[in-house]
Amino acid sequence: DYCCVHGLLAIKEAGYEAIMINCNPETVSTDFDMADKLYFEPVFWEHLLEIIELEQPIGVIVQLGGQTALKLAEKLYQHGIPIIGTSFPSMDLAEDRGSFSDLLKELDIPYPHYGVAEDVDKAIEIANRVSYPVLVRPSYVLGGQRMRIVINDEELERHVLSIFKHLPDNKVLIDQFLERAKEAEVDAICDGEEVHIMGIMEHIEPAGIHSGDSSAMLPTYSLSDQVLETMKAYTHKLAMALKIKGLINIQFAIKDEKVYVIEANPRASRTTPFIAKAYQYPYLKMATQVMMGTHKIKDFTVEKKLK
């Protein structure tokens, strides 16, 4: 795994022992000596806590382990275990749909209208308020599971009932669907004082196709200079407002030259290693050093300048 391996390299170069926890042995099959210690364990809280109690680390990095690791941040925070990089309250602000939308409103950043439903009647009420078509998905799931675009009350009712049947303790997110919109995303690093944009990618598929199922182009191929500058400005605003220390990925929808923020992920995304390899710059190493507080962005010389 490119993210973890380069993160471990930065930790070791800083003079620390690097410990990795992963349930997939293939992750380090080609870099088996990168971690000082490697635990093949399910990435569940009970297993993680036992390892932490044994090893007594100075802190835990969750930004390089995807959404699975990010969701363990709350437990780490509650148990007083230091999180290296972005704090849990900042992560939680980005992850909580209501709080994040309030922040976007405060920063005067456009976003698709949405609502959260706990039953079918509420879902129909929200869908009619934001207007069809709408994007319907359960909250707190990975990989776009059970995400669907629906166009009327009957279809919405069937899909929401199906979500509650298979995920009974979940809530349903209903978003305004921007028809024929383009989708793009930004990966950036923030040290609390400065924001460096690693890359801006434009999706081949239109907005609405989950990022895990889509293809992206680097650099962008059809977005105007004005749209790109707006995306950069929104990225800077959000990274600073969220008090990001390390990595952030922001997904955008662009319709009629207006830029909307879909979501922000305070972690390494699937596109981070793609950008690092394309631009041949060790961004994950850079981000880890920023998280650990040993370096600021100004300490690095990034020859690749974004177009």
CA-closest candidate to residue 175, choices 144, 215, 204: 144
Angle between helices 88-95 and 97-106 (to 10 degrees): 90
Distances (CA, A) of 174 to 76, 92, 122, 150: 30, 20, 10, 10
**b/e map 85-124, b = 16+ CB within 10 Å:** bbbbebbebbbebeebbebbeeeebebbebbebeebebbb
Summarised one tens digit per residue, pLDDT across range 75-124 is 999 999 999 999 999 999 998 877 898 999 999 999 988 888 888 999 99
Share of the chain above pLDDT 90, in %: 60
Amino acid at 211: S
Span 153-189, pLDDT tens digits: 999 999 999 988 888 877 888 988 888 899 999 999 9
Whether cis (ω within 30° of 0) applies to the bond prior to 110 is no
Higher-confidence residue of 230 and 5: namely 230
Q: pTM for the complete prediction?
A: 0.87
Please identify which residue in the block is written with the tokens 């925070």.
Answer: 77
Beta carbons within 10 angstroms of residue 191's beta carbon: 22
The first and second tokens of residue 161, run together, are 């009932």
**Strands 172-176 and 134-138, bridge-based pairing:** antiparallel
DSSP assignment string, 93-146:
HHH-HHHHHHHHHHTT-----EEEESSHHHHHHHHHHH-SSEEEEESS-STTTT
Read off the pLDDT of residues 121-140 as tens digits, 9 standing for 90 and up: 999 999 999 889 998 988 76
**pLDDT tens string 230-242:** 999 999 999 999 9
Indicate whether 307 pLDDT > 60. no
DSSP single-letter state for residue 26? G
Average pLDDT value for the chain:
89
Q: In terms of residues, how long is the chain?
A: 307
CA distances from 12 to 16, 32, 39, 85 (A): 5, 14, 17, 17
* pLDDT top residue among 29 and 304: 29
